[in-house]
Amino acid sequence: MNKAKKFAILSVKTVLILILCSFLLFACKKEEVSPDALDSDTSYAFGMLSASQMSEMGFVGVSFDYKAFMEGFKAFNEATETRLTPVEAWEKITVIVQKIQSQSNEEMWLLGEKNREEGEQYLKLNGERSNVSTTSSGLQYEVIVPGSGAKPGPGDVVRVHYEGTLIDGTIFDSSYRRGEPVEFGLDQVILGWTEGLQLMKEGSTYRFAIPSNLAYGPNGGASGIIPPNATLLFKVELISIVK
């Protein structure tokens, strides 16, 4: 997910605070450090850092009036009179923040609709396979290794190995790759896991196809790694019930 899409989850108030902090970071009082004390490369480096921070906040591909940008920066930095009041400045910034946020939200919605349609088609075809079962919630599972131990309950903590992928095969998480199983309570995970693991016996390995409404839904998850309305596939090995 690109930086502009990440920006959609930030509130306007949060972004304004971050922008203010960014400016304050570079604002050295004239009496403490003269602007002439910084050489060309160092000044250039501060410009790069400022642009990098704004890019991280979602200002990607925004073209500035650089002359006016530097005039405002210089006036604020040297504590001279600015042609905009702080209130007027934040009003200007708020307009562009809201515009970028609106564009990001639209992009997220379109991506979510695409993922939802592709996920529904995948689940339809997957559900037609003879070795795949579908529960009333829409969760699909396939038994790879049946196991012979006890089944966990909704309040239990389990120890598992797993690997999660998108329907295009992209691996987004894997305890196998980390070389260490994980432990968690069944009431601490997505609905598809809570339901699916209660179908399993200790020692079993299942493959789950989890609809987006039983996963992370329209907001996606894992800090942007899982896109909106994504259908998720998991290979899960239930090692033991911890308690």
Spot the catalytic one: 93, 144, 167, 190.
190
Looking at residue 23, its pLDDT comes to: 52
Mean pLDDT of the residues in the chain: 83
- Domain-wise residue ranges, the chain: 3-105, 129-241
- Tokens of residue 91, six digits: 């009003």
- Decide if 172 is catalytic: yes
pLDDT tens, residue by residue, 209-240: 999 999 999 888 866 689 999 999 999 999 99
| pLDDT tens per residue across span 57-80 | 667 667 788 888 888 888 888 878
State how far the Cα of 222 lies from the Cα of 71, in Å rounded to an integer. Answer: 40
Total residues belonging to the chain: 243
Residue 118, pLDDT score: 96
Residue 36 has pLDDT above 60, yes or no: no
Residue 15 and residue 57 in contact, taking contact as beta carbons nearer than 8 Å: yes
Establish whether 168 is a catalytic residue. no
CB 209 within 8 A of CB 231: yes
Tell me how far apart the alpha carbons of residues 29 and 75 are, in angstroms, rounded to a whole number. 11
* Higher per-residue pLDDT: 75 or 150: 150
44 is catalytic: no
- In CATH terms, the fold of domain 129-241 is Chitinase A; domain 3 (3.10.50)
